[in-house]
Structure 1
C-alpha cells in the first residue's frame, strides 16, 4: 500500500481538487491511502472563529459564515447538481460545529481549539472523497479519529502507538482509494485531538508504519526538498536524495518541508518518503531514504522567524551550574517554550526559544525571581547545515548578529533584522 499526503495548498479551490484527481490518475490509486489537510487557509479562518468565540465577539457568526461560504463556493464549482448529497454532508458538519459553539461548557482553549479546527480536515476530505466518487473512482472515506488514538494533550497530542497499530493494521480496506484526515486523532473519551501544526505529514507516517506501506509521498507546490526556502534565498537548489539521518537533522532545526515527527517511524521500517510536485507530478522530486546524506552535497539553510533570544545571568555573579540549568529547562518544559539554541558561559546562559503558546511572560515572572533576565523579541534564527564561509556570509550580510554558534556540521546565527 502507498500513502499519499496532500496539503492545504493542493486543495485550496475547485481547480486544486480537480488537479488531485489528475495526479491520482497519473500516479495510480489502487491500494492507496490519501491523507488530506484542511483547504487553503481554513485552519487560520477557524482560529479566527475560536478567537471570536472566546472574546464573545459579535463577529463570531460572520467568521463562521465566511468559512461556510468559502467551502460552498468550491462545492458549486465542482458539482453541477446542487442537490448532490455532498451539500447536505458538508452542511451537517457545519451544523455540528455550530452546535458545539452553542453548547460547549469547557473554558479550556486548547480543548475547544481541537474540536473546532478539526472541521477543516473533516470537510475537505468529505468534498474530495465525494468528488472522486463523482468522477467514477470508488473511494472509502475514513474518520481518522477511529484509528489514531492519543492522550489528551490538546493541540500537541502524543500517539498511543499500541492502540493505533491495532486499529489500523486490520481495518483499512485494500484495492480501493481510501481518503482520511491529516492532523487529527482522538483521546480515550473520543474527543478530537490534534498532533501539532503541520501534523498531516506525521499522520501519513503513522499510517505507513502501521500498514507496512511501500512508500509515503508528500505532494507539495514545490519540486521537492530545496536546500533553502526560495522566499528568503535566491538560487535555491533541489536536493535529489536525503538520508533519513540528514532529514531528521534538517527537521530538528526547523526545515518546513518535512514535519519533525514524521521521519522516525519511517526510518524504523525503512519506508521511503518522496516529496513531489502536485503541479508537475511526473518530476522525480526528492527521495528520503537509506543512502548518501545529500545529493547534491550543498549547504542547507533553515530560517526560523519570530524567535525569542533570552539571556539569563546570576544576580550575585555566581556560576550557573547544572542544578540551575535543570531548573531553567524544567520551566521551559512547563511553559512549553521550544528551545532551538543553547549557549552558556560561567555566569550567563543564552537560549533562543519559540513561544508559540504565548507563555513567556508567565515563565519570565518566575525566572526573574532567581536570575537577571534580558530578552530580545522577534529575532531570526538561521541554521546552516554543511556550512562554508560563503554560506555564512550570505546570512550575515546587512544584519546585526546577536549570537553565533558553530559545531562540526552546523552553524547557527541569531540576527536582529528590525
Structure 2
C-alpha cells in the first residue's frame, strides 16, 4: 500500500478537495490510504472555540457557528443538492461537538482541547470521503481513534505501538481508497487524544509502518524540500534526495517540512518518504530514503526568528560548572523555554532560546539572584548544514553577529539586524 498525506492547505476549500481528486486520478488510488488534516485554518478556529469555552465568553456560540458556516460553504460548493447525505453526517458531527460543550464536566484544559479540536479532522475526512464516492471512487472512511491507541497524555500522546499495529493490520482493507484523520488517536477509555501539533505526518508514518507500506507521500504546495526557505533566501534549490539521517538533522535544527517524529518509524523499515507538489503531482519532488545524504550537495539554511540570546556569568567570577548548568536547564524546563544553541566558557554560559510562552521575565527574576544576566531580544538564529564560506557570508551580510558556533558539518550564527 501507499500512504498519502494531505495537509490543511490542500483541502482548504472546494477547489482544494476537487484537486485532491485530480491528484488521485494522476497518482492512482488503488491500495492507497489517505491521511487528511483539518481544512485550512480550522484548528485555529477551534482553538478560539476552546478559549471562549474556558473564558465562559458570550462569543462561544458564534465561534462554533463560524466553523459551521465555513464547512457548510464548502459543502454547498461541492454538492449540488442539500439532500445529499453528507449534510446530515456533518451536522451530526457539529451536534456532537455542541453536546460536548454543553455537558463536559472536566476542567482539564488539555483533555478538553483534544475532544474539541479533533472535530476539524473528523469533518474534513467525512466531506472528502463523500466527495470521492460522489465522483465514483469507492472509499472506506476510517475513524483513526479505533486504530491508533495511545496513553492519556492529552495534546502530546505516546503511541501504544503493539495495540496500534494489531488494529491496523486486522482492519484496513486493501484494494480500496481508505480515508482517515491525521493528528488523532484515543486512550484506553476511548477518549480522543492528539499526537502534537503537525502530527498528521506522524500519523502517515504510523500507518505506513504498521502496513509495511511501499512509500509515504506528503502532498504540499511546494515542489519538494528546498535547501532554504524561499521567503528568506533568493535562489532556493530543490533537494532531490535526502537521507533519513540528514532529514532528522534538519528537523532537529528546525526545518519545518518534515515532522521530527515522522522519520523514525519509516527509517526502521526503510520506507521511502516523498514530498511532492499537489499543484504539479507528476513532478518527482524530494525523496527521503536510505542513500546519499543530499543530492544535490548544497548548504541547507534553517532560520529561527524571534529568538532570545541569554548570557549568564557568575557574579563572583567562579567557574560555571556542571551543577550550575544542570540547575539552569532545570529552570528552562520548568518555564517551558526551548534551548536551540549552547555555548559556554569558564565563567559564562550563553544560550539561544525560544520563549514561546513568554515566561522569560519570571525566569530572569530567579536567575538574577545567582548570576549576572545579559540578554538580547528578537535575534535570529541561522543554522547552515554543510556550510561553506559563501553560505556563511550570506547570513552575516548587513547584520551584527552576536554569537557563532562551528562544528564539522554545521554552523550556527545568532544575528541582529543593523
Q: 1:363 Cα shift?
A: 4.4
Secondary structure, counterpart of 1:336 in structure 2? coil
Q: How many residues align?
A: 418
Consecutive unaligned residues in structure 1, runs of 5 or more: none
Distance 1:101 1:380, change over 3 A: farther
Task: Supply the distance in 1 between the matched residues of 2:318 and 2:97 (Cα, whole angstroms).
Answer: 55
Distance 1:375 1:55, change over 3 A: farther
The aligned residue for residue 218 of structure 1 is: 218
Q: 1:360 Cα shift?
A: 4.2
Residue-by-residue CA offset, 1:92-130 (whole Å, 9 max, x unaligned): 111222222222233332222222211111111111011
Secondary structure, counterpart of 1:38 in structure 2? coil
Task: Supply the distance in 2 between the matched residues of 1:111 and 1:364 (Cα, whole angstroms).
Answer: 31
Distance 1:195 1:378, change over 3 A: farther
The aligned residue for residue 134 of structure 1 is: 134
**Is the CA contact 1:90–1:126 (under 8 Å) kept in the aligned structure 2?**
yes
Does residue 62 of structure 1 match 2:58? Answer: no
Task: Supply the distance in 1 between the matched residues of 2:271 and 2:114 (Cα, whole angstroms).
Answer: 30
Task: Supply the distance in 1 between the matched residues of 2:403 and 2:109 (Cα, whole angstroms).
Answer: 35
Q: How does 1:132-171 map to 2 (within 5 A)?
A: 132-171=132-171
Q: 1:136 Cα shift?
A: 1.0
The aligned residue for residue 182 of structure 1 is: 182
The aligned residue for residue 193 of structure 1 is: 193
**Is the CA contact 1:129–1:140 (under 8 Å) kept in the aligned structure 2?**
yes
Q: Bigger shift: 389-398 or 24-33?
A: 389-398
Secondary structure, counterpart of 1:170 in structure 2? helix
Residue-by-residue CA offset, 1:311-344 (whole Å, 9 max, x unaligned): 2333333222112222222333344332211111
Secondary structure, counterpart of 2:3 in structure 1? strand
Q: Bigger shift: 291-300 or 189-198?
A: 189-198
Q: Bigger shift: 403-412 or 162-171?
A: 162-171
Distance 1:149 1:355, change over 3 A: farther
**Is the CA contact 1:221–1:279 (under 8 Å) kept in the aligned structure 2?**
yes
Distance 1:228 1:43, change over 3 A: same
Q: 1:52 Cα shift?
A: 2.1
Q: Bigger shift: 365-374 or 152-161?
A: 365-374
Distance 1:59 1:235, change over 3 A: same
Does residue 269 of structure 1 match 2:269? Answer: yes
**Is the CA contact 1:340–1:352 (under 8 Å) kept in the aligned structure 2?**
yes
The aligned residue for residue 385 of structure 1 is: 385
**Is the CA contact 1:254–1:260 (under 8 Å) kept in the aligned structure 2?**
no
Residue-by-residue CA offset, 1:336-386 (whole Å, 9 max, x unaligned): 332211111112222222333454455445444443443333332211111
Q: 1:72 Cα shift?
A: 0.5
Task: Supply the distance in 2 between the matched residues of 1:72 and 1:376 (Cα, whole angstroms).
Answer: 47
The aligned residue for residue 324 of structure 1 is: 324
The aligned residue for residue 356 of structure 1 is: 356
The aligned residue for residue 232 of structure 1 is: 232
Secondary structure, counterpart of 1:151 in structure 2? coil
Q: 1:160 Cα shift?
A: 1.9
Q: Bigger shift: 290-299 or 345-354?
A: 345-354
Task: Supply the distance in 2 between the matched residues of 1:91 and 1:23 (Cα, whole angstroms).
Answer: 28
What value does the CA root-mean-square deviation take over the aligned residues? 1.7
Secondary structure, counterpart of 2:260 in structure 1? coil
The aligned residue for residue 313 of structure 1 is: 313
The aligned residue for residue 37 of structure 1 is: 37
Q: 1:400 Cα shift?
A: 2.8
Task: Supply the distance in 2 between the matched residues of 1:386 and 1:7 (Cα, whole angstroms).
Answer: 30
Q: Bigger shift: 178-187 or 5-14?
A: 178-187
Task: Supply the distance in 1 between the matched residues of 2:128 and 2:358 (Cα, whole angstroms).
Answer: 35
Q: 1:279 Cα shift?
A: 0.4
Task: Supply the distance in 2 between the matched residues of 1:310 and 1:169 (Cα, whole angstroms).
Answer: 49
TM-score normalised by structure 2 residue count: 0.95
Task: Supply the distance in 1 between the matched residues of 2:115 and 2:269 (Cα, whole angstroms).
Answer: 32
Distance 1:324 1:178, change over 3 A: same
Task: Supply the distance in 1 between the matched residues of 2:417 and 2:53 (Cα, whole angstroms).
Answer: 35
Distance 1:334 1:167, change over 3 A: farther
Q: 1:274 Cα shift?
A: 0.5
TM-score normalised by structure 1 residue count: 0.95
Does residue 280 of structure 1 match 2:280? Answer: yes
Task: Supply the distance in 1 between the matched residues of 2:157 and 2:13 (Cα, whole angstroms).
Answer: 29
Task: Supply the distance in 2 between the matched residues of 1:277 and 1:98 (Cα, whole angstroms).
Answer: 36
Q: How does 1:241-256 map to 2 (within 5 A)?
A: 241-256=241-256
